[in-house]
């Protein structure tokens, strides 16, 4: 295709992505090095250079004028990145010198908001991704053993946890594990503790969020593995049988290698999706026990005081995080293209 016609065909999608993905990234970068104007700055001008205490006599007009003149706020460089709500460099230094051993250091480190969110996001990503792939694979093997007529309805019901809106799926599970819900009652019966409440305990909340994650992403792995199983070469399977391979050996040495490219593909997609985990935390009202990076940004953006700069800094750190996570894949894609 000629460059000129390529340009015209690609123009609409390029404009959309440039305006609403590329520019916002720039906008986020800029916002993250500006902080909102403080009202007290104006006061200094009003009541003289010395002895001006923080009174409530804020010059509203001057504040507004300043904010209108410079809507970005004042330039603060990388301060926001290093403050307590983000990388918390000085706090970590203090913790490091104060902590008696590594364990205490890490537990206190996770008390800092950004590191807490990061640790949950990473835990979630690296537990949900492998477990949902495994569950999906076992479901695919089982469905593959079903008589043909039963497969359609089974696939239909298996798709539901994935297709349903994440917020809605989370709510449905949350209402069931509520201490007054059906699963909550079941847990209380199992543990023999009538006051047991998942909502009240941090470890149980984490477990529930991860269970929700596996529940909602296993169908994707199932469908892809199921399609992959249809393409496993039957000749190879049969020759493996003739060579005396057991059922397990056939799975291990024929099917799994055949499905490996699928597994990398799905792991890539699932890491991207799980890293943005967000809605279940809202559904489970879990923000007191677990925050993800996305939720951290959301809670900064929402509410009465929109902390745009803080959210922007977290956003930039999140984007850096996802690029680091994906870098092996990107490098590999780049190399394989170089060869071809």
Comparison of 109 and 214: residue with beta carbon closer to other proteins: 214
| CA dihedral for 186, 190, 195, 200, sign (positive or negative) | negative
**Scanning residues 77 to 116, which ones bind other proteins (CB under 8 A)?**
none
CB atoms within 10 A of CB 191: 10
Comparison of 52 and 135: residue with beta carbon closer to other proteins: 135
CB of 107 to other proteins, least distance (A): 27
The phi, psi pair for 123, rounded to 5°, reads -55, -50
Q: Which of 60, 165, 191, 249 binds other proteins (CB under 8 A)?
A: 165
CB of 323 to other proteins, least distance (A): 7
Comparison of 47 and 227: residue with beta carbon closer to other proteins: 227
Nearest to 262 by CA among 226, 236, 213, 214: 226
CB of 27 to other proteins, least distance (A): 4
**Scanning residues 25 to 64, which ones bind other proteins (CB under 8 A)?**
25-28, 31
Q: Which of 127, 262, 281, 286 binds other proteins (CB under 8 A)?
A: 262
SS3 content of the chain, % helix, strand, coil (to 5): 75, 0, 25
Crossing angle of helices 89-98 and 102-109, rounded to 10° = 150
CB of 53 to other proteins, least distance (A): 32
CB of 301 to other proteins, least distance (A): 6
CB of 339 to other proteins, least distance (A): 13
Q: Which of 48, 49, 51, 152 binds other proteins (CB under 8 A)?
A: 152
CB contact set of 76 (below 8 Å; sequence gap of 6+): 33, 34, 35
Confirm or reject binding of residue 293 to other proteins (CB under 8 A): yes
Confirm or reject binding of residue 159 to other proteins (CB under 8 A): yes
Give the span between the Cα atoms of 216 and 80, in whole angstroms: 35
- Token output for 96: 């490091």
């Amino acid at each position: 295709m000629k460059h000129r016609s390529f340009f015209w065909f690609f123009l609409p999608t390029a404009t959309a992505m440039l305006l609403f993905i590329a520019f916002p990234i720039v906008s986020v970068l800029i916002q993250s090095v500006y902080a909102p104007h403080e009202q007290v700055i104006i006061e200094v001008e009003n009541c003289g250079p010395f002895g001006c205490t923080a009174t409530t006599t804020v010059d509203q007009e001057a504040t507004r004028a300043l904010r209108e003149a410079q809507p970005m706020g004042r330039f603060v460089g990388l301060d926001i990145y290093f403050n307590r709500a983000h990388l918390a460099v000085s706090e970590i230094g203090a913790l490091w010198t104060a902590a008696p051993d590594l364990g205490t250091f890490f537990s206190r480190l996770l008390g800092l908001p950004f590191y807490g969110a990061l640790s949950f996001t990473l835990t979630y990503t690296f537990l949900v991704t492998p477990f949902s792939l495994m569950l999906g694979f076992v479901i695919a093997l089982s469905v593959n053993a079903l008589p043909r007529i039963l497969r359609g309805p089974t696939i239909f019901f298996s798709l539901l946890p994935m297709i349903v809106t994440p917020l809605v799926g989370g709510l449905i599970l949350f209402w069931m594990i509520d201490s007054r819900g059906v699963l909550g009652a079941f847990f209380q019966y199992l543990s023999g503790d009538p006051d047991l409440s998942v909502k009240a305990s941090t470890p149980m909340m984490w477990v529930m969020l991860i269970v929700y994650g596996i529940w909602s992403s296993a169908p994707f792995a199932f469908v892809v593995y199921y399609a992959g199983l249809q393409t496993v070469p039957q000749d190879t399977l049969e020759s493996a049988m003739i060579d005396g391979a057991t059922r397990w050996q056939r799975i291990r040495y024929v099917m799994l290698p055949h499905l490996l490219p699928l597994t990398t593909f799905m792991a890539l997609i699932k890491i991207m999706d799980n890293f943005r985990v967000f809605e279940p935390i809202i559904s489970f009202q879990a923000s007191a026990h677990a925050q993800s990076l996305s939720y951290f940004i959301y809670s900064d953006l929402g509410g009465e005081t929109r902390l745009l700069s803080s959210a922007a800094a977290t956003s930039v750190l999140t984007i850096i995080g996802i690029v680091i996570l994906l870098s092996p894949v990107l490098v590999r894609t780049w190399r394989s293209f170089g060869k071809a």
